[in-house]
Chain A
Amino acid sequence: MRILVFFLLSIYLYGVDAILQIEKDVEVRTHIGIVDSSSQRNSTIEDILLSDLKISGHFLVDDKIYNEDFDTPIMTPSLKNQEYVLKYRFESLNGSSLSIRLLKTSDSKEVFKKKYSISNKLKAPFLIHKAIYDINGFLRYPDIDWINRYVIFSRYTTPKHSEIVIADYTFHYKKVVIRGGLNLFPKWANREQKSFFYTSFNGLYPTLYRLNIYTGAKSKIISSEGMLVCSDINKNGNKILLTMAPNGQPDIYQLDLSTKTKQRITTFEGIDVNGKYINDGSSIVFVSNRLGYANIFKKSISGIGGVTQMVFHGKNNNSIDSYNNKIVYSSRESSNSFGMNKFNIYLQELDTGRLRAITTTGNNQFPRFSNDGNIIEYIKRYDGSSYIGYSNLATHKSLLFPLGVKKIQAIDW
Chain B
Amino acid sequence: MIDKKLLSLLIILILSGCTKVAPQAPLNGGSNISDSDTLNSQTVTIDEENINQQGDGFNTPNSQYNSSSDGFHSLYFGFDNYTISSDMQQVLTYNTQRAKQMNGKLKIEGNCDEFGTDEYNYALGLKRAKAVKDAMVSEGINPSRIVIFSYGESNPVCNSMSDECYRRNRRVDFKLVR
Residue numbers of A with Cβ under 8 A of B are: 5, 8-9, 12-13, 16-17, 20-21, 24-25, 28-30, 83-84, 102, 104, 109-120, 123, 126-127, 130, 138-141, 156, 159-160, 162, 166, 175-185, 200-204, 211-216, 218, 225-227, 229, 231, 243, 245, 248-250, 270-274, 287, 289, 293-294, 316, 318-319, 330, 332, 337-338, 365-366, 407, 409-410
| Structural contact, B154 and A156, CB atoms closer than 8 A | yes
16 further A-B contacts with Cβ under 8 Å, apart from A110-B32, A214-B44, A245-B150, are A12-B2, A21-B18, A29-B22, A111-B32, A112-B25, A114-B35, A140-B26, A180-B50, A181-B49, A202-B54, A203-B54, A204-B54, A216-B44, A248-B148, A271-B120, A318-B116
Q: Is the CB of A226 within 8 A of B148?
A: yes
CA distance A225 to B126 in the complex (A): 10
Interface string of B21-47 (1 = CB under 8 A from A): 111111100011111111111111111
**Quick check: A141 and B31 within 8 Å, CB to CB?**
no
Contact assessment for B120 and A273 in the assembled complex, using a CB-CB cutoff below 8 Å: yes
In the complex, what residues of A have CB within 8 A of residue B155's CB? 159-160
Given contacts A16-B11, A178-B46, A409-B118, contact A227 B51 (CB under 8 A): no
User: Which of A162, A202, A330 has the largest count of B CB atoms less than 10 A from its CB?
Assistant: A202
Contact B49 A179 (CB under 8 A): yes
Please encode chain B, from 52 to 77, with 1 for each CB lying within 8 Å of some chain A CB and 0 for all others: 11110000000000000000000000
A177 close to B44 (CB less than 8 A): yes
CB of A13 within 8 A of CB of B11, answer: yes
Within the complex, what minimum Cβ distance (angstroms) separates A213 from chain B? Answer: 4
Closest 8 A/B residue pairs (Cβ): A180-B49, A248-B130, A181-B48, A250-B123, A115-B36, A216-B44, A180-B48, A140-B23
Tell me if B39 and A126 are in contact (CB < 8 A): yes
Please, could you name 10 A-B residue pairs with CB atoms under 8 Å apart, sorted by A?
A24-B20, A111-B32, A113-B32, A180-B47, A184-B154, A201-B154, A229-B119, A270-B127, A318-B116, A318-B117
Judging by beta carbons under 8 Å apart, are A178 and B120 in contact?
A: no
Contact in complex: B150, A112 (CB < 8 Å): no
In the complex, per-residue mask of B112-130: 1 if CB is within 8 Å of any chain A CB, else 0:
0011111110111111011
With both beta carbons as reference points, the residue of chain B lying nearest to A366 in the complex is identified as B117
Contacts of B26 in A (CB 8 A): 111, 138, 140
A179 to B126, CA, bound (A): 25
Which of chain B's residues have a CB closer than 8 A to the CB of A29? 22
Find chain A residues with CB under 8 A from B2 CB. Answer: 5, 8-9, 12
Task: Out of B31, B46, B55, B130, name the residue touching A179 (CB < 8 Å).
Answer: B46
Docked-complex contact B51 and A202, CB < 8 angstroms: yes
Taking a contact as CB atoms under 8 Å apart, the answer to whether B36 and A116 are in contact is: yes
Given B44, B148, B163, which contacts A225 in the complex, CB threshold below 8 Å?
B148
The answer to whether A160 and B47 have CB atoms under 8 Å apart is no
| Smallest CB separation, B116 vs chain A (Å) | 6
| Contact (A166, B43) CB under 8 Å given A407-B114, A409-B118 | yes
Interchain nearest-CB distance for B174 vs A (Å)? 16
Partner of A113, one of B34, B41, B53, B156: B34
User: B150 contacts A213, CB within 8 Å?
Assistant: no
The one of A25, A110, A138, A214 that contacts B43, using a Cβ cutoff of 8 Å: A214
In the bound assembly, the distance between CA atoms of A200 and B52 in angstroms comes to: 12
Knowing A112-B33, A117-B38, A159-B155 are in contact, say whether A227-B45 is a contact too (CB < 8 A). Answer: no
In whole angstroms, what is the CA distance A285 to B43 when docked? 33
List the A side residues contacting B35 at CB < 8 Å.
114-115
Q: Which of B86-137 contact A (CB under 8 A)?
A: 114-120, 122-127, 129-130, 133
Docked complex Cα distance between A66 and B40 (Å)? 30
Query: Within 8 Å CB of A111, what residues of B?
Result: 25-27, 31-32
Q: How far is the CB of A150 from chain B (nearest CB, A)?
A: 9
